Amino acid sequence: MSATAVLALGAGLLLAAGLARAARQRARRLDPRAALAQAETLRQRGQLAEARALLTRAAREHPQDSAIHYRLACCLTLSRDFRTALAHLKCACDLDANWAVSAMHDPELRGLWQSGAPGTRPSQWLAARGAAVRPAA
């Protein structure tokens, strides 16, 4: 076998190893719908920290999924991490404006609106998003 053939074979093996590694990495990625369902189950069981960790990973892997950011905002609110919750809620609303209306009536986000944290006054929140809805009492 010529030196060129050996180099070509070696390059082919390295390429195959790289493709296999990429396939393994894709397989380890979370399915966004499955992550949401699993996080909801964890939250219902009172395993809020685990749900939060799962949704944080899902948000990193799927940054364009508005539902993941919204559910993470809910978990963060229940954990009383209002600043981070607001950041994820804003992200969810930027991706899908319909979340702004849902957020005003979601009991899991009530703590965020009542926290007094900067940017959490319901009237300002809605005005900033152009939403015409009345906040829940």
**103 closest CA partner among 84, 117, 116, 90:** 90
Which of the 8 DSSP states describes residue 109? G
**64 closest CA partner among 95, 26, 32:** 95
Distance from C-alpha of 115 to C-alpha of 2, rounded to nearest angstrom: 73
Residue boundaries of the structural domains of the chain: 31-129
| pLDDT score at 135 | 44
CA angle 52, 55, 61 (to 5 degrees): 145
How far lies 111's CA from each of 2, 64, 71, in Å? 71, 25, 14
Region for 68 from its dihedrals, namely left if φ exceeds 0, alpha if ψ lies in -120 to 50, beta otherwise: alpha
| pLDDT score at 48 | 94
Tokens of 109: 């986000």
- Are the C-beta atoms of residues 124 and 118 closer than 8 Å to each other? no
- Selected residue with higher pLDDT from 133 and 36: 36
Q: Kindly report whether the global pTM for this prediction surpasses the value 0.75.
A: no
| pLDDT score at 66 | 96
In this prediction, residues 51-77 reach a mean pLDDT of: 96
Whether 12 has a pLDDT exceeding 80, the answer reads no
**So what's the architecture of 31-129 in CATH?**
Alpha Horseshoe (1.25)
- Are the C-beta atoms of residues 70 and 92 closer than 8 Å to each other? yes
